[in-house]
Amino acid sequence: MRVRKKKNGAARFEAALDVITEIKKDAPEMLDVKEMLGERREYRLEVGCGKGAFAVQTAQNEGDVGFVAMEVVKDVIIFAAEKAKAAALSNLRFVCADAALIENIFPPETFDVIYINFCDPWPKARHAKRRLTYRAFLEKFRALLRAGGRIEFKTDNRPLFDFSLPEFEAAGFDVSCVTFDLHKSVYAVGNVMTEYEKNFSERGVPINRLVATKK
Ligand SMILES: C[S@@+](CC[C@H](N)C(=O)[O-])C[C@H]1O[C@@H](n2cnc3c(N)ncnc32)[C@H](O)[C@@H]1O
């Protein structure tokens, strides 16, 4: 996501540090979701939450679930954190960090569900390893899932979706609930839209979606 540098971005980021944990690349630290969110029925993670519409709405819908939303760009995560603060959500916290460091931030078997929503497609073949659905990333996410846990993946980008299907299989997941047009499918019920999803669907772009369950 390209974002113009916010004039007061640093001050807004500082003001949101009660709901954001910043992880520095050179000094990653392990986080304890129970300390962050208290005892919850389940813990879930969104990777690349952007401006936070999905995380905030999902946390509002399921108050007994603990949510962590991760985003690498400070000037983007401030929008998400400010939304969560305005809604006074006690079950949603943010981590400002690069997902490449994730195994140094959360211990194995922390989460029940991981959401990857509209990740950057990195269309050039030579950049395939940067995609969050590249198998090396998926293996890291898989280690963070509890037994029977799952990744829910949505994208407007059909080539990225076609690339991702075998990557999930190769990384030790069973893939199910595949649709190439989410909003016209049985899986539309209860679907929470992200900012990108709303934008693409308003332009008539079909949304691809799958569920990948840890084997
Ligand atoms: C295309 S946007 C989608 C945002 C949101 N999920 C949505 O659907 O509206 C992708 C987001 O993922 C973030 N992102 C990309 N790579 C990341 C990484 N390695 N770790 C954490 N966030 C990342 C970007 O900064 C951007 O905000």
Class of residue 20 by CB neighbours under 10 A (exposed 0-12, middle 13-18, buried 19+) = buried
Rounded (5°) CA angle 67-68-71: 140
Is the C-beta atom of 177 inside 6 A of ligand 1?
no
Does any ligand 1 atom lie closer than 6 A to the CB of residue 196?
yes
Q: What integer pLDDT is reported at residue 6 of this predicted model?
A: 74
On average, the pLDDT of the chain sits at 97
pLDDT in tens, 121-149: 999 999 999 999 999 999 999 999 999 99
1 lines ligand 1 (CB under 6 A): yes
Structural domains of the chain, with CATH: 45-97 (no CATH), 99-215 (3.40.50.150)
Kindly report the pTM of this predicted structure.
0.97
CA angle 158–67–89, rounded 5-degree value: 120
In the chain, alpha helices (H): 9-15, 33-37, 53-61, 74-86, 135-144, 158-170, 195-202
Nearest CA to ligand 1 atom 23: 48
Question: Which residue ranges of the chain lie beneath pLDDT 50?
Answer: none
Determine which one of 120, 156, 162, 181 is catalytic: 120
Q: Which of 72, 76, 199 to mutate to test the pocket of ligand 1 (most atoms within 8 A of CB)?
A: 72
Which of 81, 78, 31 is closest to 59 using CA atoms? Answer: 81
Beta strands in 89-205 (DSSP E): 92-96, 111-117, 145-155, 173-179
